[in-house]
Amino acid sequence: MMATSELRRSDRRGVTPYHLLYMAMKVMRFRVRDSLTIAFKHVGKDTNITREQIQPEEYINHCIESNLAFLRCIPNSTWYWAERKRDLFAMIRQLGKPTVFLTKSANEIGWPLLLQILYKLKNNGIDISKEATEQLHFIEKSTLINEDAVTCAIYFNKLIGVIMSILQSKKSSPFGKYRVKHFFKRIEFQHRGSPHAHILLWLENAPADPLGADKQKAIELIDTLISVNTSEASGNIKLQTHKHTFTCFNKVSANTHQKCRFEAPFMPCRYTTILTPMKKEEPGFYTYKNHYNTIRTNLENNDYVDIDSFYQENQIISDDYYMNSEST
């Protein structure tokens, strides 16, 4: 309660990184102490343990599960996420497989309203206009964000809550007939300290068999919710693009060809399609696979005007041939 009170005061000295780390460790120790006290109350006196008791694997697993259960109260511990994983599996058993995986990342530098709030908190209630925040230097924006990580995290969490409320709305959901019925979210913090949310969505009217009888309905859903066309982006929305960094590649020897772990560059296609892996036993598998590797190398090193020139320069004779190559 003391920590929460300090974080929400107008006096922002309580949100400095050093004080935050101190309070986080203090709260964590309190939680561990209280949980251990409760755990040891259940240990009986004069307990005699025999060799036969400890030999079975089930006994050891039970001891670990019961004695380390206090870690569930510590966010991001292994036991904490094991508990959350069980919650998710329970949802999957009750609701079926989720329809969509959604990732939301924070963009503190590009959120004028957040910068206005941070500026007001730092300068004793002095307001700043949206236009003025856009004129701030990058260093000034970064300083505002770094000095008040709590406000940034609260803002992001509330923003995610608002977005999910809109997606669940029966009247105003932008997903239309694919309104979100249920969701499971997990908020993480990247190495640079910025939060992002991983969310599983269960949608209304979602196809039950996307790889079989409902394949065309699944393609319709994908075309409705996902776009790679820059002309369809509106306002401040920008389509996500990929640019290789050192994190894309695994540590391999210098003589080994490095491959992006995100599978970039992404293979273009004339229309949305759902591919299933081709088995090695199928005719022409290795021919298709070799051609696929050649196409990926060319795509990495060359630019193409359109899909027709891409087909022509890579000796792709038909759409079916191209799909078979991608399926390998």
The DSSP 8-state label assigned to residue 106 in this structure reads -
Does 254 reside within a domain? no
C-alpha count within 13 angstroms, C-beta hemisphere, residue 312: 7
Q: Looking at the predicted structure, is the pLDDT value of residue 52 above 80?
A: no
From 80, 111, 145, give the residue that closes a domain.
80
**Residues in a beta bridge with 102:** 199
Q: Are residues 12 and 121 in the same domain?
A: no
Q: Are residues 107 and 70 in the same domain?
A: no
| Residues whose CB falls within 8 Å of the CB of residue 102, separated by 6 or more in sequence, listed in order | 197, 198, 199, 200, 201
Does 257 reside within a domain? no
Q: Are residues 120 and 75 in the same domain?
A: no
E strand or H helix at 168: helix 149-168
Q: Are residues 120 and 211 in the same domain?
A: yes
Domain that holds residue 276: 265-326
Does 155 reside within a domain? yes
Q: Are residues 111 and 210 in the same domain?
A: yes
Please tell me the least confidently modeled range out of 151-160, 228-237, 249-258, 315-324.
249-258
Q: Are residues 122 and 157 in the same domain?
A: yes
Most confident of 52-61, 154-163, 266-275: 154-163
Question: pLDDT higher for 87 or 232?
Answer: 87
Q: Please write the tens of the pLDDT for every residue from 82-128.
A: 888 889 999 999 999 999 999 998 888 889 999 999 998 888 888 88
Cα–Cα distance, 118 to 137 (Å, whole number)? 15
Q: Are residues 125 and 216 in the same domain?
A: yes
Confirm if 184 and 91 have CB atoms less than 8 A apart. yes
Q: Looking at the predicted structure, is the pLDDT value of residue 255 above 50?
A: no
* Number of folded domains that form the chain: 3
Cα–Cα distance, 86 to 84 (Å, whole number)? 5
Q: How far apart are the first and last CA of the chain?
A: 56
